[in-house]
A = this chain, B = another copy of it.
Amino acid sequence: MAVAELSPSFTKTHLHSSQLSSLSTRLANFRRCAFRPLPRARNSLTISCSVAPNQVQAPVAAQNEVPKTKTECFGVFCLTYDLKAEEETKTWKKLINIAVSGAAGMISNHLLFKLASGEVFGPDQPIALKLLGSERSFQALEGVAMELEDSLFPLLREVSISIDPYEVFQDVEWALLIGAKPRGPGMERAGLLDINGQIFAEQGKALNAVASRNVKVIVVGNPCNTNALICLKNAPNIPAKNFHALTRLDENRAKCQLALKAGVFYDKVSNMTIWGNHSTTQVPDFLNARINGFPVKEVIRDQKWLEEEFTEKVQKRGGVLIKKWGRSSAASTSVSIVDAIRSLITPTPEGDWFSSGVYTTGNPYGIAEDIVFSMPCRSKGDGDYEFVKDVIFDDYLLERITRTEAELLAEKRCVAHLIGEGIAFCDLPEDTMLPGEM
């Protein structure tokens, strides 16, 4: 084990991946470490930690019990951290591993701090954050990890950064896939589907290889429905129903627009479904939604507004925000990711539901099978969900659902090569990407 002393507070160690399993057990009980793959050598890792306990010369603490025989070992690995041994932490749940891709981006910059603060998983849930970035963003990833350090979140017990999904996804129970490439100048939508599809194919393979067998995956990077499909198709050993495409921001915006129109507070709007694709073909469903328990149409009698303006307002919200604010809506997107997670880990309120882009096979609505389509779901709070039975359809709603379904089937044909279905054939009729949400 070659060791190079970098600076008084940095210890660097080169390891082979075969040594990782025993390490990971020890790490699971300990704190912030940065795993960094050496360029072009997956099996060789650089593990850098800012803690140099070999410089600790006094009894750190009676209750910490650092074995003195270990003083020749290196860095953080000399210390073990036992949550069960301390009064404040012994009633805590078992640490969970959460992977976040695109971790140096703006959405993650909000989301990571929410996860670390305990706001999402509760005040007794210790957290390990595993940040996936790119080579280009590696410095920024380090910056994010340093800011997480400086925030002193008691529940945040481990932070690692890497550009290798096979490392980052090791044993993760949640994978929040935010990173995606934006469309370059002149790039066709098919090109974007391909380039991002390849990223999500690789990430699916990595999840399949190393993640928890019951990992929950939320795909945010766009085009998120088809990215989620690609991801789940490349992870055959993980249940397909564990993959979600984020349409929660659309749901939240739809609730807000109905509340604004009706002149009620937004918490009075319930049963809001976004059907279909996270694109301009999405269908915010005002037939089934309710305001103060009443059908929307009984409260907002302006049918023309509902049919002609409401959906457009929801879809164009992101574009309007970019104009106002000069950048895309990272803060509210991260809030909606938190909402999506919470909807899976807390029981859905009686009579209500939430929307998520999920795998259609077995759905009760007659949606084409084998795509990822936003539909109404309920959860018992166990991380799983079931489809809502009591929804109604009319011709107007069905017609629009058919249109967004056709779009997703066309997107699927575009990425056939990435889901093991032969040669791609791309006939997307028009560009329906939501403005600014790439």
Contacts and interface: CB of A to CB of B under 8 A. Distances in A.
A216 interface: no
Contacts of A256: 149-150, 152
Interface string A325-339: 110010110011001
Interface string A130-164: 00000000011011101111111110010000000
Contacts of A64: 264, 268, 292
B263 A331 contact: no
Nearest to A10: B260
A325 B140 contact: yes
A152 B252 contact: yes
B265 A31 contact: yes
A55 B261 contact: yes
Contacts of A57: 300-302
Interface in A229-281: 249, 252-253, 255-256, 260-268
A154 B252 CA distance: 12
A149 B254 CA distance: 11
A117 interface: yes
B309 A8 contact: yes
A79 B56 CA distance: 64
A53 B261 CA distance: 7
Main secondary structure of the interface of A (DSSP, over half): helix
Nearest to A262: B56
Interface string A277-306: 000000000000001111000111110010
A321 B152 CA distance: 16
A126 to B, nearest CB: 11
Given A260-B9, A292-B61, A292-B64, A147 B110 contact: no
Contacts of A110: 110, 113, 331
A387 interface: no
Given A58-B298, A301-B58, A150 B9 contact: no
Q: Copies of this chain, how many?
A: 2
A299 B146 contact: no
A21 interface: no
A55 B55 CA distance: 70
25 contacts: A9-B261, A52-B260, A55-B305, A56-B263, A57-B302, A60-B263, A61-B293, A63-B292, A64-B264, A76-B263, A78-B263, A79-B263, A88-B267, A104-B325, A110-B113, A113-B335, A139-B323, A143-B324, A143-B325, A146-B321, A148-B332, A150-B252, A150-B317, A151-B332, A151-B335
A109 interface: yes
Nearest to A104: B325
A51 interface: yes
Given A143-B321, A144-B331, A147-B329, 18 more contacts: A58-B294, A58-B301, A60-B299, A61-B264, A61-B268, A76-B263, A81-B265, A88-B267, A104-B325, A110-B110, A139-B323, A140-B324, A143-B324, A146-B324, A147-B321, A152-B255, A152-B339, A154-B267
Contacts of A434: none
A352 to B, nearest CB: 13
B61 A266 contact: no
